[in-house]
Amino acid sequence: MKIMNCPLNGPRNISEFVWGGEVKPMPDETKLSDREWAEYVFLENNTAGVVREWWCHVPTSYWFIAERNTITDEIVKTYPASEVFKSRVDFAGAKP
């Protein structure tokens, strides 16, 4: 069983974590066509190489980001989500 280094809890068995999908910052949904939105929701890059992913340490419900090589399954590094999402996100304006 692999070990993952949780930025909050340190190295733990991988069975304590759940995967939360690739990190893909949400585009401004008001500026996308229906097709572009559907592609954002349903299509993944499926990159062969280092990807940034959401992982959650289940016992503590702590979400963080891991960089993982999908070819070797090596976890390159892990860090708090705040290193990527640095400031508050707001949604402006009501939809038509």
Residue for token pair 């960089």: 67
| Cβ closest to other proteins, residue 26 vs residue 48 | 26
Using the rule CB under 8 A, is 61 a contact of other proteins?
yes
Using the rule CB under 8 A, is 85 a contact of other proteins?
yes
Among 8, 10, 19, 29, contact with other proteins (rule: CB under 8 A): 29
Q: How far is the CB of 63 from other proteins (least distance, A)?
A: 5
CA–CA dist 45, 33 (Å, integer): 19
Contact 8, 60 (CB under 8 A): yes
